[in-house]
Structure 1
Amino acid sequence: MAWHQLHPLTLYQGAAFPFALLFNYLCSMDSFSTHARYLFLLTGGHLLALAAMGPCAVLVFIPALCAVVLIHSLDPKEVHRQTFCFQMSWQTLCHLGLHYTEYYLQEPPSPRFCIMLSALMLLTQRVTSLSLDVCEGKVEAASRSSRTQSSLSEHLRQSLPYFSYLLFFPALLGGPLCSFKRFHARVQRSRPMCPRQCFWTLAWRGLQILGLECLKTALQGAVSAGAGVRDCQQLGCIYVMWSTAGLFKLTYYSHWALDDSLLHAAGFGLELGWSDGEDPVPDADIWTLETTHRISLFTRQWNHSTARWLRRLIFQRGRAWPLAQTFAFSAWWHGLHPGQVFGFFCWAVMVKADYLIHTFADLWIRSRPMRLLYRTLTWAHTQLAIAYVMLAVEVRSLSSLWLLCCSYNSVFPTVSCILVLLLSGRKHKWN
Structure 2
Amino acid sequence: MDWLRLFFLHPVSLYQGAAFPFALLFNYLCGMDSFSTRARYLFLLAGGGVLAVAAMGPYALLIFIPALCTVALVSSCGPQEVHRLTFFFQMGWQTLCHLGLHYTEYYLQEPPPVRFYIALSSLMLLTQRVTSLSLDIREGKVEAASGSIRNRSSLSECLSETLPYFSYLLFFPALLGGPLCSFQRFQACVERPSSSYPSISFWALTWRGVQIAGLECLRVVLRRAVSAGAGLEECQQLECIYVMWSTAGLFKLTYYTHWILDDSLLHAAGFGSEAGQRSGEEGYIPDVDMWTLETTHRISLFARQWNRSTARWLRRLVFQNSRRWPVLQTFAFSAWWHGLHPGQVFGFLCWSVMVEADYLIHAFANVSISSWPLRLLYRALTWAQTQLIIAYVMLAVEGRSLSSLGRLCCSYNSIFPGVYCVLLFLLAKRKQKCN
The offset of 1:305, in angstroms, is 0.2
Higher mean C-alpha deviation, range 141-150 or range 173-182: 141-150
**Equivalent residue, structure 1, for 2:205:** 202
Identical amino acids, percent of aligned pairs: 74
**Equivalent residue, structure 2, for 1:182:** 185
Tell me how far apart the structure 2 counterparts of residues 5 and 425 of structure 1 sit (CA, whole Å): 52
- The answer to whether the 8 Å contact 1:6/1:255 transfers is no
* Runs of 5+ consecutive residues of structure 1 not aligned to the other structure: none
Q: Which residue type is aligned with residue 109 of structure 1?
A: P
**Equivalent residue, structure 2, for 1:56:** 59
* Runs of 5+ consecutive residues of structure 2 not aligned to the other structure: 1-6
Check 1:273–1:119 CA distance in 2 against 1; reply closer, same or farther (3 A cut): closer
2:359 is the counterpart of 1:336: no
- The answer to whether the 8 Å contact 2:145/2:162 transfers is no
**Equivalent residue, structure 2, for 1:142:** 145
The offset of 1:374, in angstroms, is 0.3
Check 1:145–1:128 CA distance in 2 against 1; reply closer, same or farther (3 A cut): closer
Higher mean C-alpha deviation, range 398-407 or range 79-88: 398-407
Equivalent runs, 1:157-306 vs 2, <5 Å:
157-191=160-194, 198-270=201-273, 272=275, 274=277, 277-306=281-310
The offset of 1:275, in angstroms, is 5.2
**Equivalent residue, structure 2, for 1:376:** 380
**Equivalent residue, structure 2, for 1:420:** 424
Q: 1:254-300: per-residue Cα shift (whole Å, max 9, x none)?
A: 00000000000000011558555302211010000000000000000
Tell me how far apart the structure 1 counterparts of residues 194 and 210 of structure 2 sit (CA, whole Å): 27
Tell me how far apart the structure 2 counterparts of residues 209 and 327 of structure 1 sit (CA, whole Å): 29
Tell me how far apart the structure 2 counterparts of residues 108 and 430 of structure 1 sit (CA, whole Å): 54
**Equivalent residue, structure 2, for 1:357:** 361
The offset of 1:191, in angstroms, is 4.4
The offset of 1:430, in angstroms, is 6.3
Tell me how far apart the structure 1 counterparts of residues 201 and 14 of structure 2 sit (CA, whole Å): 21
2:97 is the counterpart of 1:103: no
Root mean square deviation, CA, Å: 1.8
Q: Which residue type is aligned with residue 40 of structure 1?
A: F
Tell me how far apart the structure 1 counterparts of residues 198 and 314 of structure 2 sit (CA, whole Å): 35
Q: 3-state DSSP class of the match of 2:343? A: helix
| Match 1:10 to one of 10, 13, 16 | 13
Q: 1:306-349: per-residue Cα shift (whole Å, max 9, x none)?
A: 00000000000011111111000000000000000010111011
- The answer to whether the 8 Å contact 1:88/1:124 transfers is yes
- The answer to whether the 8 Å contact 1:237/1:409 transfers is yes
Q: Which residue type is aligned with residue 403 of structure 1?
A: R
Q: 1:27-67: per-residue Cα shift (whole Å, max 9, x none)?
A: 00000000000000000000000000000001100000000
**Equivalent residue, structure 2, for 1:19:** 22
| Match 1:393 to one of 397, 414, 430 | 397
**Equivalent residue, structure 1, for 2:4:** none
Tell me how far apart the structure 1 counterparts of residues 221 and 275 of structure 2 sit (CA, whole Å): 35
- The answer to whether the 8 Å contact 2:76/2:146 transfers is no
Q: 1:162-206: per-residue Cα shift (whole Å, max 9, x none)?
A: 0000000000000000000000000001345665x5210100000
Check 1:39–1:373 CA distance in 2 against 1; reply closer, same or farther (3 A cut): same
The offset of 1:229, in angstroms, is 1.2
Equivalent runs, 1:19-38 vs 2, <5 Å:
19-38=22-41
* Normalised TM-score (structure 2): 0.95
Higher mean C-alpha deviation, range 347-356 or range 186-195: 186-195
| Match 2:158 to one of 155, 160, 168 | 155
Tell me how far apart the structure 2 counterparts of residues 430 and 21 of structure 1 sit (CA, whole Å): 60
* Normalised TM-score (structure 1): 0.96
The offset of 1:426, in angstroms, is 2.4
**Equivalent residue, structure 2, for 1:72:** 75
Q: Which residue type is aligned with residue 17 of structure 1?
A: F
- The answer to whether the 8 Å contact 1:294/1:382 transfers is yes
Check 1:114–1:97 CA distance in 2 against 1; reply closer, same or farther (3 A cut): same
Higher mean C-alpha deviation, range 413-422 or range 178-187: 413-422
Check 1:6–1:424 CA distance in 2 against 1; reply closer, same or farther (3 A cut): farther
Tell me how far apart the structure 2 counterparts of residues 255 and 397 of structure 1 sit (CA, whole Å): 24
| Match 2:125 to one of 114, 122, 126 | 122
The offset of 1:143, in angstroms, is 4.8
Check 1:318–1:262 CA distance in 2 against 1; reply closer, same or farther (3 A cut): same
Aligned length: 428
The offset of 1:420, in angstroms, is 1.6
- The answer to whether the 8 Å contact 1:176/1:282 transfers is yes
Q: 3-state DSSP class of the match of 1:77? A: coil
Tell me how far apart the structure 2 counterparts of residues 220 and 430 of structure 1 sit (CA, whole Å): 49
The offset of 1:150, in angstroms, is 3.1
Q: 1:381-404: per-residue Cα shift (whole Å, max 9, x none)?
A: 000000000000011332221110
Check 1:271–1:154 CA distance in 2 against 1; reply closer, same or farther (3 A cut): closer
| Match 2:406 to one of 395, 402, 406 | 402
The offset of 1:425, in angstroms, is 2.1
- The answer to whether the 8 Å contact 2:287/2:308 transfers is yes
Check 1:331–1:147 CA distance in 2 against 1; reply closer, same or farther (3 A cut): same
Q: 3-state DSSP class of the match of 2:10? A: helix
Q: 1:132-151: per-residue Cα shift (whole Å, max 9, x none)?
A: 00000000013537515432
Check 1:94–1:6 CA distance in 2 against 1; reply closer, same or farther (3 A cut): farther
